[in-house]
Structure 1
Amino acid sequence: MQEKGVRTMGYVTTKDGVEIFYKDWGPKDAQPIHFHHGWPLSSDDWDTQMLFFLEKGYRVIAHDRRGHGRSAQVSEGHDMDHYAADANAVVEHLDLRNAVHIGHSTGGGQVARYVAKYGEPQGRVAKAVLVSAVPPLMLKTDANPEGTPIEVFDGLRSALAANRAQFFLDLASGPFYGFNRPGAKISEGVIRNWWRQGMMGSAKAHYEGIKAFSETDQTGDLKAITVPTLVLQGDDDQIVPYKAAALLQAKLLKNATLKIYEGYPHGMLTTHADVINPDILAFIKS
């Protein structure tokens, strides 16, 4: 039962004056699990996981990245360093310890930077989980031949600037969840919920966030992480190529467990929550 007078959601103000919205559900003495959402969504993208782990007795926390969801639509700071610092502001505000940090897509980059720069040095992190995550580097370079060409990201920026609402609808109803695959079980509710979350946020934050998730080299972050880390990705991820992501993450991390799901899409935490949630639970308990 929720303690009387305890806030289950609220805002924390960062050192540079940005209001970050967060949810905090469950027993305050239980092990905390902190969820980090993907681009261009909000903490609502983790609702299924939060309810699942809440029912298992955990304390579950999620926050909206700056410029996303209900957090302040500020002009500046849409980069991985600020994303990680904002996450740390939530952690310190709630004094989370022995926490498990779980990140999807861009949120996986946020987790990697947070754990490497703040969480491990402060001794606050027990484990981490990277789901369809962007590290070490999405952009194709000579040193990263499995990455995605810059022209693809330039195309995302152009589509967003021209008609963000239609672009988000197309992304959610197509490659994000694999709904463009033959025989896919399409959910209109999932598409609408993705679009709803995206349109809550700032166009500027989303535009600049493309550079943050595609061009940030997080090789050093992954190498610095020593806590047990679960790496999950589908081999039919049309957004983040798994050969440039999960496979490299597992090589760079010191204590990684890797699982590749055959045929799963980028948004598998939603489409295959019935499989992903128990797998994450087993890792946390291990």
Structure 2
Amino acid sequence: MPTINTQDGVQIFYKDWGPKTAQPIVFHHGWPLSADDWDNQMLFFLEKGYRVVAHDRRGHGRSSQVSDGHDMDHYATDVAAVVDHLDLRDAIHIGHSTGGGEATRYVARHGKDRVAKLVLIGAVPPLMLKTPANPEGLPIEVFNGLRKELAANRSSFYLDFASGPFYGFNRPGTERSQPVIWNWWRQAMTGAANAHYLGIKAFSETDFTDDLKLIEAPTLLMHGDDDQIVPLVASAPVAETLLRNRTLKIYQGFPHGMATTHAQSINSDLLEFVRA
């Protein structure tokens, strides 16, 4: 399997498909998944002639299950290591959920000379946690609850999470896809429990306000108004006010995992933005 070793000795798995001379699109997966969550989009853009790259975050998927570094600074530095190793330039970075936070920090702090565009899908920036300065965020009890359920029975918790709010399968009249649920569960269970546990703090308590202000690359914000994981009210519309060059698209009735449940619509809009 293709891997690189970071400066602190972590082995990061990555996929690199397509012509090496083509414009690269780099995908950043959500918590607690892996690069496999982007299979649909990677095949779509591969067919369009792009070079597509995705990695498993440290502690996730096929990357090293290490004890430390489960924070946004390390996540972004790991991305930089992959990008430098593959010498990716003029790249378009697409991040979903936690991966949107990772992509935001990478672009702001590492990618100025290598990034062409940024896309944030159901992404956590600027801040998920409720604070006096972020009153629309989610209370800490929500994230404490996730930690408690993960520690008690990770397998059962992940199955319930994928079967319910992540894809909106808990909404009346929504058709549930068992293969999609099992694929989510498979990816999640491949990763390390400690990385996922510590990752909850990383995606919920990291403030990306300053990162968003630094980003100059054209940015597309895509968010479903029925996102039950990263509620719209404290995410994309707030991030829009902090970015210099941005476009916001809100999708009526779409859930958090809309890149899977509504792949055709998402891929079409992504392609339009990438080609623009």
Q: Secondary structure at the match of 1:38?
A: coil
Residue in structure 1 matching 2:116, options 112, 119, 126: 126
Residue in structure 2 matching 1:230, options 211, 220, 225: 220
Residue in structure 2 matching 1:107, options 75, 99, 114: 99
Q: Does 1:283 align with 2:262?
A: no
Residue in structure 1 matching 2:141, options 136, 145, 151: 151
Q: Secondary structure at the match of 1:126?
A: strand
Report deviation, 1:275: 0.1
Task: Output aligned runs, 1:30-45, within 5 Å.
Answer: 30-45=22-37
TM-score by length of 1: 0.96
Q: Does 1:258 align with 2:215?
A: no
Tell me the equivalent position of 2:41. Answer: 49
Whole-angstrom CA distance in 2 between matches of 1:252 and 1:285? 24
Q: Secondary structure at the match of 2:234?
A: coil
Whole-angstrom CA distance in 2 between matches of 1:113 and 1:185? 36
Residue in structure 1 matching 2:60, options 68, 83, 107: 68
Kindly indicate whether the alpha-carbon contact (under 8 Å) linking 1:137 and 1:244 is maintained by their aligned counterparts in 2. Answer: yes
Q: Secondary structure at the match of 1:119?
A: coil
Residue in structure 1 matching 2:130, options 119, 140, 143: 140
Q: Does 1:244 align with 2:231?
A: no
Report deviation, 1:162: 0.2
Residue in structure 2 matching 1:197, options 184, 187, 207: 187
Residue in structure 1 matching 2:4, options 9, 12, 24: 12
Letter in 2 for 1:274: Q
Letter in 2 for 1:14: T
Identity of aligned residues (%): 72
Whole-angstrom CA distance in 1 between matches of 2:253 and 2:135? 23
Report deviation, 1:236: 0.2
Report deviation, 1:127: 0.2
Tell me the equivalent position of 2:154. Answer: 164
Report deviation, 1:222: 0.4
Tell me the equivalent position of 2:84. Answer: 92
Whole-angstrom CA distance in 2 between matches of 1:93 and 1:37? 19
Kindly indicate whether the alpha-carbon contact (under 8 Å) linking 1:239 and 1:266 is maintained by their aligned counterparts in 2. Answer: yes
Report deviation, 1:197: 0.2
Whole-angstrom CA distance in 2 between matches of 1:68 and 1:270? 19
Residue in structure 1 matching 2:263, options 252, 265, 273: 273
Report deviation, 1:243: 1.2
Report deviation, 1:142: 1.1
Whole-angstrom CA distance in 2 between matches of 1:89 and 1:242? 32
Letter in 1 for 2:141: E
Whole-angstrom CA distance in 2 between matches of 1:180 and 1:55? 33
Tell me the equivalent position of 1:213. Answer: 203
Report deviation, 1:22: 0.1
Letter in 2 for 1:59: R
Whole-angstrom CA distance in 2 between matches of 1:248 and 1:83? 23
Residue in structure 1 matching 2:72, options 68, 80, 95: 80
Report deviation, 1:89: 0.5
Letter in 1 for 2:169: F
Q: Secondary structure at the match of 2:195?
A: helix
Report deviation, 1:80: 0.1
Report deviation, 1:51: 0.1
Ranges in structure 2 where 5+ consecutive residues have no aligned partner:
none
Cα deviation 1:202-242 (Å, max 9, x = unaligned): 00000000000000001000000010000000000000011
The alignment of Structure 1 onto Structure 2 pairs a total of residues equal to: 276
Whole-angstrom CA distance in 1 between matches of 2:146 and 2:14? 28
TM-score by length of 2: 0.99
Report deviation, 1:185: 1.6
Q: Secondary structure at the match of 1:50?
A: helix
